[in-house]
């Protein structure tokens, strides 16, 4: 699929060090150790509705990682999927009388516009589930050849326990796994399953549902194996970061990892499993299924600057759960005005310490609230005058742009 155009990234003096991120798998913050090309896979949208602030928070979080690595002089191979066939799309199609493909195309197009407006760096590979079906079918056959698949009424299930490290991403008890699996699209209670946690890798064709002819017969893929296949095809095993919101820790990222471990007979699937917190609105996690949403596109239509939206998101550490509020957006707009004034000055105080503090706070598990404080300090000092350096206001703007994706123009 086509991604979206990349914004320019200004270059900054000096270079960043290494990036430490909290790894859900190890339950600890650890340095990332990319080679000259850092490899990151982030789970993309299921395009049945517009981009909301929860999505924006997640993609801006991983954009900070992307930007940090670029600042460190690395090439970044970033892969993202689009779940352009799944139950929610088909349900929305029935509810609205539209074709599921038209919904997916429209909402994916809107997502691209939102990402471009938010200055999120595009993935190098932007891959749809539908276009990956032949690859998924081949991986399911590999799993079959390893004796890791069985059929229930024509649907194919992966034996999760074939991976000795199953559970090592989420660290949940069996009871918790079953409960969460049931909540998040799994089918632990289906009769005929060997283990309640075994996951669907191929669903045979249902009447009135789309299906594809493959080596596995007529049907469509299960969800997890799509991301496993896309990540393996484009990044291979042992890539640096597997990312998404914390609602994907279990079952999604656990299942993806186990499928890959069994397929490739090696570990790990990813070096770090990184998860952003959930954004709520009106007391509940923002979700398309609940319908309590604040859309990026709606704010943009109402004239809110994307830079202010980004600053509203960056005011929260990426691992915290938080609520979107109008006050948060007001605060971000004031901050944007402060920074913009400061960046427009003819001269200012030295910005080198600001840059090294910003890099250090980002390097330590993306401590963005501290980054904003450091930037505020420089901008406020600027208001009270002083400083003779003609370059520093421009460098300040370049820091905001290159590392935070906030354009002060």
Rule CB under 6 A: which residues touch ligand 5CA?
Answer: 43-46, 54-55, 57-58, 81, 83, 227, 244-245, 247-248, 276, 278-279, 285-287
Q: Which is nearer to ligand 5CA, 244 or 387 (CB)?
A: 244
Residue 115 backbone phi and psi in degrees, to 5? -65, -40
Q: Minimum distance from CB of 317 to ligand 5CA (Å)?
A: 13
Q: What is the 3-state secondary structure (H, E, C) of 242-296?
A: EEEEHHHHHHHHHHHHHHHHHHHCCCCCEEEEEEECCEEECCEECCCCCCCCCEH
The DSSP secondary structure of 148-188, one letter per residue, reads: -EEEETTEEEE-GGGSTTTTTTT---HHHHHHHHHHTT--T
Q: For Zn ion, which stretch binds (CB under 5 A), given 182-190, 222-230, 271-279, 392-400?
A: 222-230
Number of chain positions touching Zn ion (CB under 5 A): 2
Query: Please, what is the minimum distance in Å from the beta carbon of residue 299 to ligand 5CA?
Result: 16
Minimum distance of ligand 5CA from residue 212's CB (angstroms): 18
The reply to whether 398 sits near Zn ion by the rule CB under 5 A is no
Helices vs strands, H then E, count in the chain:
13, 15
The entry of ligand 5CA, Zn ion, none near residue 163 (CB within 5 to 8 angstroms by kind) is none
DSSP 389: B
The one of ligand 5CA, Zn ion, none whose footprint includes residue 55, by CB under 5 to 8 A per kind, is ligand 5CA
The residue with its CB nearest to Zn ion is: 43
Binding partner at 45 among ligand 5CA, Zn ion, none, C-beta below 5 to 8 Å by kind? ligand 5CA
Interaction between residue 227 and Zn ion (CB under 5 A): yes
Stretch that binds Zn ion, among 170-178, 221-229, 319-327, 359-367 (CB under 5 A): 221-229
Q: How far is the CB of 221 from Zn ion (least distance, A)?
A: 12
Pairing assessment for the beta strands 20-23 and 28-31 based on DSSP bridges: antiparallel
How many angstroms separate the CA atoms of 58 and 53, rounded?
9
Q: What is the dihedral of CA 46, 102, 304, 286, to 10 degrees?
A: -30
Q: DSSP assignment of 73-86, as one string?
A: T-EEEEEEEE--SS
Nearer to ligand 5CA, 41 or 339 (CB): 41
Distance CA 27, CA 32 (A): 14
Of 158 and 378, which CB lies nearer to Zn ion in the complex structure?
158
Tell me the C-alpha distance between 381 and 348, whole Å.
Answer: 9
54 binds, among Zn ion, ligand 5CA, none (CB under 5 to 8 A by kind): ligand 5CA
Which of Zn ion, ligand 5CA, none has residue 245 at its interface (CB below 5 to 8 Å by kind)? ligand 5CA
Are 228 and 163 a contacting pair, CB within 8 Å? no
If phi > 0 it is left, if psi is from -120 to 50 it is alpha, else beta; for residue 190 that is beta
Complex with Zn ion: residue 224 or 310, whichever CB lies closer: 224
Q: Mask of contacts with Zn ion, 23-52, x by CB under 5 A?
A: --------------------x---------
Task: Name which of residues 296 to 355 contact Zn ion (CB under 5 A).
Answer: none
- Element at 108 (helix H, strand E): helix 100-117
The two beta strands, 75-82 and 37-42, are: parallel
Q: Is 255 in the site for Zn ion (CB under 5 A)?
A: no
Instruction: Write down the least CB distance from residue 47 to ligand 5CA, Å.
Output: 7
Phi, psi angle pair for 70, to nearest 5° = -65, -40
- Give the binding site for Zn ion (CB under 5 A): 43, 227
């Amino acid at each position: 699929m086509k991604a979206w155009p990349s914004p320019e990234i200004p270059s900054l003096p000096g270079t960043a060090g290494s990036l430490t991120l909290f790894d859900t798998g190890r339950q600890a913050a650890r340095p990332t150790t990319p080679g000259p090309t850092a490899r990151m896979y982030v789970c993309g949208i299921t395009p049945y509705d517009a981009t909301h602030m929860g999505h924006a928070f997640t993609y801006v979080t991983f954009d900070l990682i992307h930007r940090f690595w670029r600042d460190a002089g690395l090439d970044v191979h970033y892969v993202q999927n689009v779940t352009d066939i799944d139950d929610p799309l088909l349900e929305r199609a029935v509810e609205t009388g539209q074709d599921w493909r038209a919904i997916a195309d429209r909402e994916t197009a809107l997502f691209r516009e939102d990402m471009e407006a938010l200055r999120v760096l595009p993935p190098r590979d932007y891959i749809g589930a539908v276009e990956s079906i032949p690859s998924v079918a081949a991986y399911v056959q590999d799993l079959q050849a390893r004796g890791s698949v069985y059929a229930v009424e024509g649907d194919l299930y992966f034996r999760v326990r074939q991976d000795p490290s199953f559970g090592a991403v989420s660290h949940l008890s069996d009871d918790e796994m079953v409960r969460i699996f049931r909540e998040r699209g799994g089918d632990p209670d289906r009769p005929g399953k060997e283990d309640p946690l075994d996951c669907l890798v191929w669903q045979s064709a249902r009447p009135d549902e789309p299906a594809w002819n493959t080596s596995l017969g007529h049907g469509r893929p299960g969800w997890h194996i799509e991301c496993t296949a896309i990540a393996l095809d484009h990044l291979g095993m042992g890539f640096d970061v597997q990312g998404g919101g914390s609602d994907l820790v279990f079952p999604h990222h656990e299942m993806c990892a186990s499928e890959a471990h069994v397929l490739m007979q090696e570990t790990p699937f990813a070096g770090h499993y990184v998860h952003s917190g959930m954004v709520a609105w009106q007391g509940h996690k923002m979700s398309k299924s609940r319908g309590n949403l604040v859309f990026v596109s709606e704010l943009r239509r109402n004239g809110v600057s994307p830079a202010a939206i980004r600053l509203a998101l960056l005011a929260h550490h990426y691992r915290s759960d938080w609520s979107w509020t109008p006050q948060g957006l007001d605060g971000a707009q004031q901050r944007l005005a402060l920074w913009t004034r400061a960046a427009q000055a003819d001269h200012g105080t030295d910005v080198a310490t600001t840059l090294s503090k910003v890099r250090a706070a980002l390097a330590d598990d993306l401590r963005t609230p501290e980054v904003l404080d450091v930037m505020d300090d420089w901008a406020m000092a600027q208001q009270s005058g002083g400083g003779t350096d003609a370059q520093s206001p421009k460098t300040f703007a370049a820091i905001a742009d290159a590392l935070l994706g906030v354009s002060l123009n």
